[in-house]
Chains A and B, each alone.
Chain A
Amino acid sequence: MSKHLIDLEHITKSFGSNVVLDDLNLYIRENEFLTLLGPSGCGKTTTLRLIGGFETPDKGRILFDGIDITNIPPHKRQLNTVFQKYALFTHMNIEDNIAFGLKIKGKTDKYIKDKIEYALKLVNLSGYGKRMPDSLSGGQQQRIAIARAIVNEPKVLLLDEPLGALDLKLRQDMQYELIRMKKELGITFIYVTHDQEEALTMSDTIVVMNQGYIQQIGTPEDIYNEPENAFVADFIGDSNIIDATMIHDKLVSFLGARFDCVDVGFGENKPVDVVLRPEDIILCKPEEGTITGEVTHLIFKGVHYEMEVMTEGYEMLVHSTTMSPVGTKVGIKVDPFNIQIMHKPESEDEEAVGVEE
């Protein structure tokens, strides 16, 4: 694995009496697309602003390439930021916006001109140099903001919910654009979002945060398939989180029945949480299911039907391409490897918290 580029060590940050980050430890590897994901108020933007230099931590230090940059002001850091709502200089045209950082560094006119051309081409906006920011659409302004940052050849690009203000279709297009740019530039991206789909689509590594704590770090596949706690399971995609008892290795009991699973090492007769993804639940004839239930809600979602099945007093969310009308008695079964077992949270702090957005 490539080396650490940024290390956050024991970072604590509070605003007034509100502790936003509490003893946060995180490293970011060179050339990685890392996403800080969490609900609003989880500390993800503060973490990004600490890296960018717009905030200083109360405790702890930040290393960049092994050098302590905790107290270095933003204009002396080798990284650039793409801000929420673009933050373009509205009194300058696109060229001057992009050239801003280069002019300060005293680059030659020829160099600046080439760079502007290259950057506009990278963001697919060649020929827009003389336009004013106000005359561009939101998506175009966002791409200019990216161009303005990357011409400075930062080692790290920080992106603070850059797609938040765009509509759905444009957001999806921009996700692919960002992945392409990342590959072309070969630099580290640190991306902040509350949109789990965005995070899953683009990231190499996702850091799920809640209430100032890191909940889980992993690849999109890890985070989605093997959430470490109920918060992550709930925040990433839809899920059913059910109280269960681990009978012994590879056997778990919930909703009044025993299910085979693949997890080991949780002990015997221990209370655990079980995560079932709605798309992993198989509806069948009542006599074929491990448990049975009755369909109580049915919504057509385009790609699939979303159903709620009442079973043993639990309303289970199910996604399926085949429809079962409301009132149908169904059997429910789950493949053993689709049953995800998690430890019960040990303290109140770790309890899954309602997602605000």
Chain B
Amino acid sequence: MKNKAKLLAAPYSVWAIAFILIPLAMIFYYGLTDRSGAFTFENIISITTAEHSKALILSLFLSLISTVICLLLGYPLAMVLTKIGRNSHSLIVFIFILPMWMNFLLRTLAWQTLLEKTGVINNILNILGLPSLNIINTSYAIVLGMVYNFLPFMVLPLYNSLTKIDTNVINAAHDLGANDVTTFIKITLPLSVPGIISGVTMVFIPALTTFVISNLLGGSKILLIGNVIEQQFTQASNWNLGSGLSIVLMLFIVVNMIITAVFDKDGEGTML
């Protein structure tokens, strides 16, 4: 029985070694060596240069803002989805996740078309005699793109953890004299912490590492850490520096995952 299970896992083991472990080892190899192959911390330390640290701080800042906006938008939405009758919720959830099935790149490109100086939104604003919206190629557009793309990843873990709260627990709080606000603060919010943590992780990490959204909606003017790394690989052909910066970024991801593991022991928030 056990051997059979091992046999079934074999294709995945090959996959994991070929496409996860080996690349990871290579990143560490390149990240900790220079072009001649000699060991160095140079690539990692280069995060402290003005250009790189500015990109990292901007990335952290924009992902943080996007995550907060996703949380503020996503929590009420998840609550509404939870409250809507158990019968109709499948349709609502379906409508909500429908856009997720479309290609991520395509959706971001669509925003580019919408936001362009002579794009759909500005055309409509002009017709209505309103001032144009000039946010394309700014940080605002990047945040918009992040929120739009990653909001479902916030809502679904939240929805999951909210539906797991027994309605009688909420009733019990009312029964013991708590009004809606108190019940929310003392019962609903603390009980949904696993969902919040998962949602935050699932928005923050992809937002932190993205380079597509910043490329398409930020023009080439705004560099996030993801863009810097991408450029090292594709333009500067400096795999060592790119890998070194990747290691730094990984550090943030690992810290984030540790926090998640501590707060969401049952992994309930991540079960989509």
Contacts and interface: CB of A to CB of B under 8 A. Distances in A.
B171 A74 contact: yes
Given A100-B176, A101-B177, A104-B182, A83 B187 contact: no
B86 to A, nearest CB: 13
B186 to A, nearest CB: 8
A60 B168 CA distance: 25
Interface in B71-116: none
Interface residues of B, number: 18
Given A90-B191, A104-B182, A81 B177 contact: no
Interface residues of A, number: 24
B172 A81 contact: yes
Nearest to B175: A81
B190 A91 contact: yes
Interface string A53-90: 11000000000000000000111100011011101111
A130 interface: no
A98 B168 CA distance: 16
A74 B175 contact: yes
Contacts of A101: 176-178
A52 B177 CA distance: 12
- For the complex, would chain A's binding face be called helix, strand, loop or mixed by DSSP majority? loop
A152 B176 contact: yes
A91 B182 contact: no
Nearest to A160: B168
A148 B171 contact: no
A169 interface: no
A110 interface: no
A52 B169 contact: no
Contacts of A152: 176-177
Contacts of A301: none
A212 B211 CA distance: 62
Interface of B: 166, 168-169, 171-179, 182, 186-187, 190-191, 193
Given A74-B174, A149-B176, 5 more contacts: A74-B171, A75-B178, A76-B177, A91-B193, A104-B182
